[in-house]
Structure 1
């Protein structure tokens, strides 16, 4: 099983789409700096997804899904 906090596609870093419970735990119990950085990376990724054209957004979501499958292996 891989362990990484971010993945990169086309030069942009995205939060790794691993176990959401792990992310929730980090946001609830992490120190202030790690909580800010985690939250900022998810807000940035969300903003980029909603600004992308639909075709690019669908491709990015498929890439993230492949990362999930790779993480679970």
Structure 2
């Protein structure tokens, strides 16, 4: 994984964490592993995970700094 962004998203009165990942790894496998590991830490909150190269991901990270960067 190269970069990761974590944002708080509210859409249609539904709030969730939004994790945006910049990774060359198999996103299906990576996303499911992150969802499994994070489930116990979310205190009932939702977690949405999307790739940075999606149209929504590109817009969502604008003006935000990654909380994780491999550099």
Normalised to the residue count of structure 2, the TM-score between the two structures is: 0.31
Pick the structure with more helix per residue.
Answer: 1
Higher relative contact order (CA 8 A, sep 6+): 2
Greater Rg, structure 1 or structure 2? Answer: 1
TM-score, normalising length: structure 1: 0.31
